[in-house]
Amino acid sequence: MYRRAYVTLVGVAVVMGTLALVVSLKYDRPLLDPEGKFLGPSWARLPLLLMGAVLLDLVPLTLWRSRLRPAAIIPLVRERLRTHWTPERMTLVALGVVCFYVTYVSYRNLKSALPFVRSFNNPNDMFDRELNTIDRVLFFGNQPGPVLHNLLGTDLSAHGLSYIYLWFLPLVPLALTAWLVWSRNISYGYWFATSQCLAWSLGTASYYALPTLGPVFHFAPGYTALAHTPTTDLIEGLSRSRNKVLHGDYDGSSVEGIVNSVAGFASLHSGITLLVALMVQFTLRNQLLKVVFWVNFALTVVATIYFGWHYLADDIAGIMIAFVSFYLGGIATGQKFNRHSLQSHPTTTSANVPVSID
Mean pLDDT rounded to a whole number for the chain: 86
Count of residues making up the chain: 358
Q: How far apart are CA 1 and CA 250, in angstroms?
A: 48
Q: How confident is the model at residue 218 (pLDDT cuts 50, 70, 90)?
A: confident
pLDDT digits (tens, 9 = 90+) for 156-193: 999 999 999 999 999 999 999 999 999 989 999 999 99
Write out the DSSP string of 143-209: -HHHHHHHHH-SSHHHHHHHHHHHTHHHHHHHHHHHHHHH-SSHHHHHHHHHHHHHHHHHHHHHHHH
pLDDT digits (tens, 9 = 90+) for 236-283: 999 888 888 877 654 443 434 678 888 889 999 999 999 999 999 999
List C-alpha distances in Å: 156 to 152, 160, 301, 303. Answer: 9, 6, 18, 13
Q: What does the pLDDT read at residue 194?
A: 96
* 8 A C-beta contact, residue 19 and residue 27: no
What interhelical angle do 87-117 and 3-26 show, nearest 10? 30
Q: How far apart are CA 168 and CA 318, in angstroms?
A: 14
Half-sphere exposure of residue 283: CA atoms within 13 angstroms, side-chain side: 27
Q: How far apart are CA 327 and CA 199, in angstroms?
A: 11
pLDDT digits (tens, 9 = 90+) for 81-113: 899 999 999 999 999 999 999 999 999 999 999
Q: How far apart are CA 17 and CA 104, in angstroms?
A: 9
pLDDT digits (tens, 9 = 90+) for 53-89: 888 888 888 888 888 888 888 888 888 989 999 999 9
Terminus-to-terminus CA distance in the chain, angstroms? 20
Q: What does the pLDDT read at residue 259?
A: 84
Structural element, H or E, at residue 79: helix 70-83
Task: List strand residue ranges (DSSP E) for the chain, in order.
Answer: 335-337, 344-346
Cβ neighbours around 168 below 10 Å, total: 18
Task: Sort 43 into a burial class: Cβ within 10 Å, 0-12 / 13-18 / 19+.
Answer: exposed
Q: What does the pLDDT read at residue 121?
A: 54
